[in-house]
Structures are given as structure tokens and as C-alpha cells.
């Protein structure tokens, strides 16, 4: 859909940078992560298979930045030759220094996601009565998102030629939680792979049992969704209605610049 994509965010979009962080304990380069990825091998993705970075558009999966940083000095030349780039990231990350630099290099299209309803992750349900969603945390996420939207508008007004897509991950995640069967899920509370109650007392480990049908689970570990959930997310970002993506979805964002 676009000739170049630069992905910024957290572990939801990390394709393996954590493998290159020597002193980090946040790793997913062991089973059962990657059980549904190519050859069933863990790659540093915090899921059973592909993540949004792999699924958006038709580009090959992006490599971890830390594996190619030695060629970063060529980024100015490469992006300028393309005439534009495409930034995709979680929250306000692309609007900070990274966004400013990408704009200077030629990026004009940005796709950003708000915070999802983090209080509905298995790890956050554990201390709540009846293991329902943590409404206090969800309220904080909602407040953050309400503050992010004006930031996007200001970024666009100050940077000529910028267009963007904002994905309302909060509303979408709650929709999935409240209408699980519509999305093919039978389990939205417990993780597929982990330890203890709701399989959410610790991350997935090589010694953990994991669910047989990952397509029925919203979450793979105590925090991170399954590939099945990510596919629903990406479908909404690319072709979703204004309920979830505004002021336009990614397909319209791309076609607007192509016309």
C-alpha cells in the first residue's frame, strides 16, 4: 500500500528489538511465543504469531531497528527519494521527536493508535472482583486518548501536507470484549499461555501449558493479544468505519495521496 513504513511503539509492534537489549528481562525469544509464526520459531514478538507490524499493508515484515541501525545514516537519502513515508505507532510516540524527524525526512502520512482498554487484559483482571475489567485503569486510558486527539490536530495544522489515521483502540477492544462471539472468540478473560489464575500471574514460559486453538482466544499472554485479535485490529485500521478510525481509515489515507 505504501513504499515505506516506519513503526514506533511498544511490545505490541516490536518485531524483535528486545532480542538486542542485553540487560532487558522483557524477552519473548523462547517458546511458546511464535508457535504459529513461520516454522513455529520465537522471534521476539510477544504473541503466538504475527503482530500489527507484520499485517499492515503488503510490505514485508519490517526488521528490528536495532538489527539494522548501522545503516540508519542512509535514512535521510532513502526517505527523501520516496517523497513520503508512513509512520505507525502506539499513542503519542510518532508525534514527539521521532515524528518531527520523519516529517523532515519526507513522511507525510501517519497512522496512530490510542491506548486500548488495558484494564481488560488478563493481568489487570486478576485483582478485580469476579475478574472483571479494571474500570479505574480503563478510565485512565480513555482520558489519555481524549487528550491525544487534539495533539494530532495540532500536529497536522503545524506540518504542511500531513494526513493521519487515528485508531480508537479503546472502543474497539471493548467492542470485542462485549461481543466476543461476533469476532470468533470464546475466551476474553484468560490468556492462552501463562501461569496461575487466568494464566496471567506470569508471562508465557517454555514450561507453561498453552491453549490448543489460539483463534478462540483474545489474549495470548497476560498482556498481549493473539494473532487472531491482531488481525481484527488491523482489518479495522485498514478498512474500518469512522466509529473506529478517523478522520479516515488507512485505505482512504493511502488513496488520497495516490490520487
Give residue 248's Cα distance to chain centre: 18
- Dihedral sign computed on CA atoms, order 17, 23, 24, 25: positive
Task: Give the model's pLDDT for residue 71.
Answer: 65
Whether the Cβ atoms of residue 67 and residue 20 lie closer than 8 Å to each other: yes
Task: Give the model's pLDDT for residue 91.
Answer: 58
Task: Give the model's pLDDT for residue 100.
Answer: 82
Eight-class DSSP state of 160? T
Task: Give the model's pLDDT for residue 69.
Answer: 73
Query: In the structure grid, which three cell numbers stand for residue 6, read together?
Result: 516506519
Task: Give the model's pLDDT for residue 25.
Answer: 86
Query: What are the structural domains of the chain?
Result: 6-258 (3.40.50)
| pTM for this predicted structure | 0.91
Task: Give the model's pLDDT for residue 236.
Answer: 97
Instruction: List, run by run, the mean pLDDT of 10-residue segments along the chain (259 residues).
Output: 74 92 90 96 96 82 81 53 46 67 83 94 97 98 94 90 92 98 98 98 96 98 98 96 96 79
Eight-class DSSP state of 114? -
Helix (H) or strand (E) holding 6: strand 6-8
Amino acid at each position: 500500500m505504501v513504499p515505506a513504513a516506519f513503526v514506533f511503539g511498544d511490545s505490541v509492534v516490536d518485531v524483535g528489538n528486545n532480542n538486542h537489549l542485553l540487560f532487558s528481562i522483557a524477552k519473548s525469544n523462547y517458546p511458546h511465543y511464535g508457535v504459529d509464526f513461520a516454522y513455529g520459531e520465537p522471534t521476539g514478538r510477544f504473541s503466538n504469531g504475527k503482530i500489527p507490524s507484520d499485517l499492515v499493508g503488503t510490505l514485508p515484515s519490517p526488521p528490528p531497528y536495532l538489527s539494522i541501525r548501522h545503516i540508519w545514516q542512509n535514512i535521510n537519502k532513502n526517505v527523501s527519494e520516496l517523497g513520503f513515508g508512513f509512520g505507525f505507532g502506539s499513542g503519542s510516540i510518532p508525534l514527539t521527536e521521532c515524528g518531527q524527524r520523519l516529517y523532515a525526512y519526507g513522511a507525510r502520512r501517519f497512522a496512530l493508535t490510542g491506548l486500548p482498554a488495558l484494564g481488560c487484559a488478563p493481568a489487570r483482571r486478576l485483582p478485580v472482583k469476579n475478574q472483571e475489567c479494571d474500570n479505574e485503569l480503563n478510565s485512565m486510558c480513555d482520558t489519555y486518548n481524549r487528550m491525544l486527539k487534539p495533539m494530532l490536530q495540532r500536529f497536522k495544522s503545524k506540518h504542511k501536507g500531513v494526513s493521519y489515521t487515528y485508531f480508537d483502540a479503546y472502543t474497539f477492544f471493548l467492542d470485542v470484549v462485549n461481543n466476543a462471539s461476533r469476532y470468533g472468540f470464546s475466551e476474553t478473560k484468560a490468556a492462552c499461555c501463562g501461569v496461575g489464575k487466568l494464566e496471567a500471574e506470569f508471562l508465557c514460559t517454555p514450561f507453561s501449558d498453552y491453549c490448543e486453538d489460539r483463534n478462540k482466544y483474545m489474549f495470548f499472554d497476560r498482556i498481549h493479544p493473539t494473532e487472531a485479535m491482531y488481525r481484527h485490529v488491523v482489518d479495522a485500521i485498514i478498512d474500518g468505519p469512522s466509529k473506529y478510525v478517523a478522520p479516515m481509515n488507512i485505505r482512504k489515507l493511502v488513496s488520497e495521496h495516490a490520487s
